[in-house]
Amino acid sequence: MSFYSDVVLPRLLDHAMKNEDLVGYRQRIVGAAHGRVLEVGIGSGLNLPFYGPGVTEIIGLEPSRALIALASRRAGPSGRAVSFLPRSAEAIPLERSSVDTIVTTWTMCSIPDAAAALAEMRRVLKPGGDLLFVEHGRAPDSWVVRFQDWLTPAWRPLAGGCHLNRPIADLITGAGFGIVGLRTGYARGPRPFTFMYEGLAR
């Protein structure tokens, strides 16, 4: 680890993810969660205000202890039962079929082994449970994809391992989930960074 990854990057991520353009995505995805929730990549806890009354417990999985510290401060005023697991998603320390909902928001881009992480999510999710996701990833336009492929090697070490070019829907279905609803499209901003996948899988 380094001063950049331990101190600078968590604050940069917290600031960047406060973007008001992301609020609508959070309202739709996080607001649909229910029951016992596992949020994979809870980051600095910016989703916490968006959980609805149907949520009974939130477990935040996050490998960065600096981000967990920020999230812990946000969890206090939320009045919810929130706990944190300082782990990466490739090995989730929960029992099989133990959560009702999994939430991922702009997380799958930075997990080192996304396929292994999704297999773990499928393991801990109850049968019929919901995987709610909003992620940025591989765009449908060839010229954008060329930029994404070119930028990713340089971008990844600066942005906490973020891959701009991951095919999110393919990764989810490849892990054995069935996508029930999917919305895609560009958000505001440079296109290599802003092609969004928003949806529900079971």
- Residue 176 maps to which CATH number? 3.40.50.150
Cβ–Cβ < 8 Å for 33, 51: yes
pLDDT category, 152, cuts 50, 70, 90? Answer: very high
- Exposed / middle / buried, residue 97 (Cβ in 10 Å: 0-12, 13-18, 19+): middle
Name the average pLDDT for the chain: 95
Question: Residue 7's pLDDT is what?
Answer: 87
Question: Residue 76's pLDDT is what?
Answer: 78
pLDDT category, 1, cuts 50, 70, 90? Answer: low
pLDDT beyond 80 at 79: no
The CA distance from 164 to 151, in Å, is 8
Residue span of the structural domain in which 63 resides: 3-201
What is the DSSP secondary structure assignment for residue 12, as one 8-state letter? H
Task: Give the count of domains, the chain.
Answer: 1
pLDDT beyond 80 at 103: yes
pLDDT category, 78, cuts 50, 70, 90? Answer: low
